[in-house]
């Protein structure tokens, strides 16, 4: 299903699909802190775009700018071709933000009833409850819900107006594995219905599982952008993990090794030529143990993209 989505929804950068939300040369700072710096970023109709980055990277700031909750210091923010604060834009967007406290004495159904009333053509409450998996909880007070259930209510409030464009800021924070999978399915369902989704996450797996396009953001700058496959390709190759007596220096001398990292008792090597390196490793260290070869996942790509120290520095250690 993910694959089908990607095929249908992945636009090449030159795509002719209309841009529904964009940041153009946007700077945003809070006093001394530069939250976003010269950010150019677009979301096209029908896409699921993941804004991926560590905490404090500027993801939430980007979302708040697109929601018109913040104004940029420089640059242009556009949603549906207009200012995001336009009431008609708000009518067509839904947002799931990180909230520390939601009124706790209001029941799930009541929260949805109120938010639905803001929209012109809301989904029927029953359908919202079903989509968000809240049918059995509709009469519970918000304060009596578990963390994951609370997230689902916030998701329900984001979708209840049947908006064309959805902003999901860290939607699966605090969800367990099962709840996260459920949320993913719900998001995929929305995309199949033609919705456009911008989600922020620091779960790399989540970006990989959902997004047709990923923008990696770190320290207020977009440092990479592309399909999950393209992002992964930025650190091509495989990861080899083993316990060896060879020194780091000796490991660097093996042809094809692009990175050496000590990880507790083992070392991790990165290479584009796994077979060659493994053969050489076994030849040089007959006591080598715990050998594992895996393909470099998005996680590694992400770390490689966002880490501060250039690889050369490690070579000198």
Partner 1 sequence: MSTASIRFTGAQLARAPRQTAMIYLKEAKYEFLKNLRLRMYTASVLSFPIMFYVLFGLVLNAKEAIGVTRVPTYLIATYGTFGVMGASLFGTAAGLSSDRGLGWLQVKRASPMPPFAYFAAKVITSMIFSTIIVLALFVLGFTAGAVRMPISEIVRLLGTLVMGSLPFSAMGLAVGYFTGPNSAPATINLIYLPMSFCSGLWVPFLFLPKVVKQIALVLPPFHLSQLALGIVGAGNHEPASTHWEVLLAFTMICLGIARIGFQRDQEKMYG
> Helix axis angle, 147-159 relative to 108-118, nearest 10°?
20
Question: Does residue 98 belong to the site contacting partner 1 (CB under 8 A)?
Answer: yes
Q: CA 190, CA 196: separation in Å to the nearest integer?
A: 8
CB-based contacts of 63, cutoff 8 Å, min separation 6: 51, 95, 97, 167, 169, 198, 200
Question: Does residue 13 belong to the site contacting partner 1 (CB under 8 A)?
Answer: no
Q: Which of 57, 72, 90, 274 binds partner 1 (CB under 8 A)?
A: 90
Q: Which of 40, 74, 76, 118 binds partner 1 (CB under 8 A)?
A: 118
Q: CA 234, CA 205: separation in Å to the nearest integer?
A: 16
Please say which residue, 6 or 261, places its beta carbon nearer to partner 1: 6
Q: Which of 176, 194, 229, 282 binds partner 1 (CB under 8 A)?
A: 194
Question: Does residue 166 belong to the site contacting partner 1 (CB under 8 A)?
Answer: no
Name the E strands within 137-246: 165-169, 196-201, 213-218, 221-226, 238-243
Q: Which of 91, 266, 276, 305 binds partner 1 (CB under 8 A)?
A: 91
Give all strands of the β-sheet with 238-243 in edge-to-edge order. 257-263, 266-271, 238-243, 289-295
Question: Does residue 106 belong to the site contacting partner 1 (CB under 8 A)?
Answer: yes
Residues 144, 153: contact at Cβ < 8 Å? no
Give the binding range for partner 1 (CB under 8 A) out of 160-168, 173-181, 214-222, 251-259. 160-168
Give the binding range for partner 1 (CB under 8 A) out of 66-74, 129-137, 180-188, 270-278. 66-74
Cα 229 to chain centroid, rounded = 14
DSSP states along 243-265: E-SS-HHHHHTSTTEEEEEEETT
Q: Which of 37, 38, 75, 86 binds partner 1 (CB under 8 A)?
A: 86
Q: Minimum distance between the CB of residue 244 and partner 1, rounded to whole angstroms?
A: 46
Q: Which of 2, 37, 54, 113 binds partner 1 (CB under 8 A)?
A: 113
C-alpha distances in Å from residue 157, one per residue of 6, 109, 131, 314: 27, 10, 11, 47
| Interface of this chain with partner 1, residues 230 to 249, rule: CB under 8 A | none
Please say which residue, 61 or 138, places its beta carbon nearer to partner 1: 61
Question: Does residue 93 belong to the site contacting partner 1 (CB under 8 A)?
Answer: yes
Q: Write the DSSP symbol of residue 218.
A: E
Give the binding range for partner 1 (CB under 8 A) out of 105-113, 126-134, 248-256, 285-293. 105-113
Question: Does residue 103 belong to the site contacting partner 1 (CB under 8 A)?
Answer: yes
Rounded (5°) CA angle 206-236-199: 20
Q: Which residues bind partner 1 (CB under 8 A)?
A: 8-9, 17-18, 20, 30, 45-46, 60-61, 64, 67-71, 80-82, 86-95, 97-103, 105-106, 110-111, 113-115, 117-120, 141, 154, 157, 161, 164, 167, 194, 196
């Amino acid at each position: 299903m993910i694959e089908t989505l990607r095929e249908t929804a992945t636009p090449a950068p030159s795509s002719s699909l209309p841009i529904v939300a964009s940041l153009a040369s946007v700077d945003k700072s809070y006093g001394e802190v530069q939250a976003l710096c010269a950010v150019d970023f677009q979301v096209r109709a029908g896409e699921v775009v993941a804004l991926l980055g560590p905490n404090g990277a500027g993801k939430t700031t980007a979302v708040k700018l697109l929601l018109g909750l913040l104004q940029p210091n420089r640059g242009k923010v556009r949603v549906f071709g207009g200012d995001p604060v336009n009431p008609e834009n708000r009518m067509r967007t839904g947002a799931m933000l990180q909230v520390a406290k939601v009124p706790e004495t209001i029941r799930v159904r009541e929260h949805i009833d109120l938010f639905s009333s803001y929209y012109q053509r809301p989904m029927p409450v029953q359908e919202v409850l079903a989509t968000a998996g809240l049918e059995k909880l509709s009469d519970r007070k918000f304060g009596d819900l578990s963390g994951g259930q609370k997230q689902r209510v916030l998701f329900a409030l984001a979708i209840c107006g049947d908006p064309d464009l959805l902003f999901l800021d860290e939607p699966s924070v605090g969800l367990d594995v099962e709840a996260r999978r459920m949320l993913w399915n719900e998001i995929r369902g929305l995309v199949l219905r033609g919705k456009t989704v911008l989600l922020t996450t620091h779960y790399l797996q989540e970006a990989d599982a959902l997004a047709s396009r990923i923008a990696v953001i770190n320290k207020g700058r977009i440092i990479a952008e592309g399909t999950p496959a393209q992002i992964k390709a930025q650190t091509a190759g495989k990861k080899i993990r083993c316990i060896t007596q060879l020194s780091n220096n000796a490991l660097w001398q093996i042809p094809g090794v692009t990175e050496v990292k000590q990880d507790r008792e083992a070392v991790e090597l990165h290479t584009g030529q796994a077979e060659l390196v493994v053969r050489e490793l076994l030849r040089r260290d007959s006591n080598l143990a715990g050998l594992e070869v895996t393909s470099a996942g998005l996680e590694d790509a992400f770390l490689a993209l966002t880490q501060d120290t250039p690889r050369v520095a490690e070579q000198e250690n």
